[in-house]
Amino acid sequence: MITTAQITCQPLAGSYKEFVFNGPSSAEQWTWVKFEDEMYNETFGQFPGAPVVVSLSAHNDMFYVLTDSFLFEVNRDDLGKYTCYDFWDIGSTLKNVTFTPTGIAIFSNDYHIFTTNGTFESKQQIPTPLELDMIQFQGWQENSLLIHAEVFIEGRPMLLLLDATTFTISKYN
């Protein structure tokens, strides 16, 4: 089972076990991710698209690799079991992915924040207090996700908190 995953540079060819994750189209850039399992064995994954973020939780059977073109949902027990979501097919470019402390995945594009009940295909939008633009996850403070965004059209910056227990979003004072 994969216990850690981090974006890295391309390894020296033949030095490690490598796995290529295919997408529906070719990409000019590639993202390399180093995986480590519970026995400290290292494997490298090659994903189409420029790197954005990798998110993994010990409380979830899936982890996510987000590139500038695709979202990969990968099974922690078997790297060969993965789904590639093309941004054209899902209707928007994803910008952020993280896990709550209890292992629930949270995603965003520039305008909306989503959570899932299982896999990405079961995503549900989380209501926000205002229409937002340029959403950026800033990190966790205990059970709250700090989010920076701009108020849509006005371009005014706003800090928000997403409560991971109630999945409500409020303005950060």
Last residue of a domain, one of 89, 121, 146: 89
Average pLDDT of the residues in 90-112: 94
- Each residue's pLDDT tens digit, 21-41: 998 877 889 999 999 999 999
CA gap 103, 112 in Å, rounded: 20
| Enclosing H/E stretch for 89 | helix 87-90
Say how far apart CA 164 and CA 61 lie, in whole Å. 19
- pLDDT bucket at 154, cuts 50 / 70 / 90: confident
Looking at 33, 56, 89, the residue that finishes a domain is: 89
Q: Which amino acid is residue 58, in one-letter code?
A: A
* Domains: count for the chain: 2
Asked if residue 107 and residue 170 are part of one domain, the reply reads yes
56 and 104: one domain? no
> How many Å separate Cα 131 from the centre of its chain?
22
DSSP state of 22: P
pLDDT of 23 reads 87
Q: How far apart are CA 111 and CA 131, in angstroms?
A: 7
Q: d(Cα 54, Cα 72) in Å, to the nearest integer?
A: 9
Query: Domain residues for 168?
Result: 95-173
